[in-house]
Amino acid sequence: MSDHAANAELALLLEVAGTPKPGNVDRQRDLPNLRFEQFLAGAVGAREGLERAAAGEPVGEAFETAVAGMSERSGDNTQFGCLLLLVPLVRAAAAGDLSRAGVRGVRAETTVADAVRFYRAFDHVDVAVADPPEGMDELDVRRGGDAAATLRDRGLTLADVMARSEGDANAREWAEGFPRTFRAAEAILADEGPVTDRAARAFLDLLAESEDTLVRINHGESVATEIREGAREIGSLAEAEAWADELVERGINPGTTADLTAAALFVALERGVEP
Residue extents of the structural domains in the chain: 3-270
Q: Which CATH number fits domain 3-270: 1.10.4200.10, 3.30.565.10, 3.30.70.100, 1.10.357.10?
A: 1.10.4200.10
pLDDT at 76: 93
pLDDT at 67: 98
Is the model more confident about 130 or about 141?
141
Q: Is the pLDDT of residue 222 over 80?
A: yes
Q: pLDDT tens across 170-180, in order?
A: 999 999 999 99
Q: Is the pLDDT of residue 135 over 80?
A: no
Tell me, rounded to whole angstroms, the distance of Cα 90 from its chain centroid: 13
- Taking the alpha carbons at both ends of the chain, their separation in whole angstroms is 19
Encoded amino acid at 151, one letter: L
Read off the pLDDT band of 140 (50, 70, 90). Answer: confident
Encoded amino acid at 241, one letter: E
- The whole-chain average pLDDT of the chain stands at 95
pLDDT at 139: 85
User: Which has the minimum average pLDDT: 134-138, 162-166, 260-264?
Assistant: 134-138
- Of 125, 124, 119, 4, which is closest to residue 57 (Cα–Cα)? 4
Torsion angle in degrees (nearest 10) through CA of 45, 130, 163, 48: 0
pLDDT at 128: 85
Q: pLDDT tens across 79-114, in order?
A: 999 999 999 999 999 999 999 999 999 999 999 999
Q: Is the pLDDT of residue 133 over 90?
A: no
pLDDT at 211: 96
pLDDT at 82: 98
Q: Are 113 and 131 in contact (CB under 8 A)?
A: no
Torsion angle in degrees (nearest 10) through CA of 8, 102, 209, 127: -50
pLDDT at 134: 67
pLDDT at 1: 58
Q: pLDDT tens across 193-205, in order?
A: 999 999 999 999 9
- Of 51, 69, 64, which is closest to residue 119 (Cα–Cα)? 64
Q: pLDDT tens across 223-263, in order?
A: 999 999 999 999 999 999 999 999 999 999 999 999 999 99
